[in-house]
Amino acid sequence: MYKVAVIGATGLVGSTMLKVLEERNFPISELIPVASEKSVGNTLKFQNKEFKIVSMANAIAQKPNIAIFSAGGNVSAEYAPLFAEVGTTVIDNSSAWRMDPTKKLVVPEVNANVLTKSDKIIANPNCSTIQMVVALKPLHDALKIKRVVVSTYQSVTGTGIKAVNQLMNERSGAAGEMAYKYKIDLNVIPQIDVFMDNGYTKEEMKMVNETKKIMGDDSIKLTATTVRIPVMGGHSESVNIEFENEFEIPQILKLLQNFPGITVEDDIANNIYPMPMNAEGKDDVFVGRIRRDESQSKTLNMWIVSDNLRKGAATNAVQIAEYLAANKLI
């Protein structure tokens, strides 16, 4: 049994983390929920019990075995090392530690084997990267990926509750706070995060850099366009993959069907393919529209969908904790 702190417990991802911990029956002896100062003293329900929200200092003093962070990069950068100093293993959902060469960036189905007992701060990847690398991993192992071109269609839940409220307000004609510069309802915004000097957004470069680190292969070439769309339920991705080796579609289907965490939905005769509304609340990565790219050899097109709050964030973090517990690394 483990003493577990959840940092950012009242946010969209934090509340989903609590839900996933409960659903998966993670062995918790004591839950320590942490949120902003204004929430300290309030209570939340977990496993039919009320738990009082505490301050960061209080949580550190309790020396939890695990601290799962979802409170933003600045908070993680400041407080994750303080938890690590008292022996806590931190699983961080922000971008603060992802590209730190001394920290592991983990998707359990892909590279959990890199984890050791000495890893006290473990990074949870970006949501759009997580679902893509789960689908890429079995194909890369069998066929060796040369290049990936990905375009994403990302849910407003990836921005947070403020963006969800903006969409709902626009749908109902109500005034309210804007999460985006532009209207999101009946619109598509081809910008996620800030633009960088090369003309790409930070989200796009996260996908490029994180994929190479998680897959352990800097030779994979990847280019991304990330887009916010007015949906909830999950992120969708159109992915074009060029391989070193030739393949057959039945081989691709078998590789994907046999890989943990993937559900193949690819029955075009019956109009069955992954969609966010069907992925919502589920932990798998759904893959469909699997077809050869007829414009060049050894190249494949796929459509990948996953619930960004679950596998794209909360579930992946909990799966890391499960791996650590199962392998006695905490």
How do residues 200-233 score in pLDDT, each as one tens digit? 999 999 999 999 999 999 999 999 999 999 999 9
Active-site residue (options: 127, 136, 184, 256): 127
300-313: pLDDT as tens digits: 999 999 999 999 99
23-36: pLDDT as tens digits: 999 999 999 999 99
* Confidence band for 103, pLDDT divided at 50, 70 and 90: very high
Using an 8 Å Cβ cutoff, are 256 and 268 in contact? Answer: no
Per-residue pLDDT averaged across 282-306, rounded?
Answer: 98
How high is the pLDDT of residue 319?
Answer: 98
How high is the pLDDT of residue 138?
Answer: 98
Active site (annotated) includes residue 140: no
Q: The pTM is what?
A: 0.96
How high is the pLDDT of residue 290?
Answer: 98
Per-residue pLDDT averaged across 144-171, rounded?
Answer: 97
60-94: pLDDT as tens digits: 999 999 999 999 999 999 999 999 999 999 999 99
231-241: pLDDT as tens digits: 999 999 999 99
Q: Is the C-alpha dihedral spanning 209, 210, 215, 221 positive or negative?
A: negative
How high is the pLDDT of residue 8?
Answer: 96
Question: How far, in Å, CA of 32 to CA of 64, rounded?
Answer: 8
Our measurement of the distance from residue 17's CA atom to the centroid of its chain's CA atoms, rounded to an integer in Å, reads 12
- Own/partner contacts of 79-87, CB < 8 Å, gap of 24 or more, are 79/7, 80/121, 81/121, 83/5, 83/59, 84/120, 84/121, 86/60, 87/63, 87/120
**How much is the mean pLDDT over the chain?**
97
How high is the pLDDT of residue 312?
Answer: 98
Percent of the chain with pLDDT over 90: 99
Active-site residue (options: 104, 120, 206, 235): 235
Strand order through the sheet with 235-243: 221-228, 145-154, 235-243, 299-306, 285-292, 262-264
How high is the pLDDT of residue 133?
Answer: 98
Residues 6+ apart with CB under 8 A from 202: 193, 194, 195, 196
Domains in the chain with CATH codes: 2-125+313-326 (3.40.50.720), 128-308 (3.30.360.10)
Per-residue pLDDT averaged across 169-174, rounded?
Answer: 97
Active site (annotated) includes residue 235: yes
Per-residue pLDDT averaged across 186-207, rounded?
Answer: 98
Residue 182 Cα distances to 171, 174, 203, angstroms: 14, 15, 18
How high is the pLDDT of residue 149?
Answer: 99
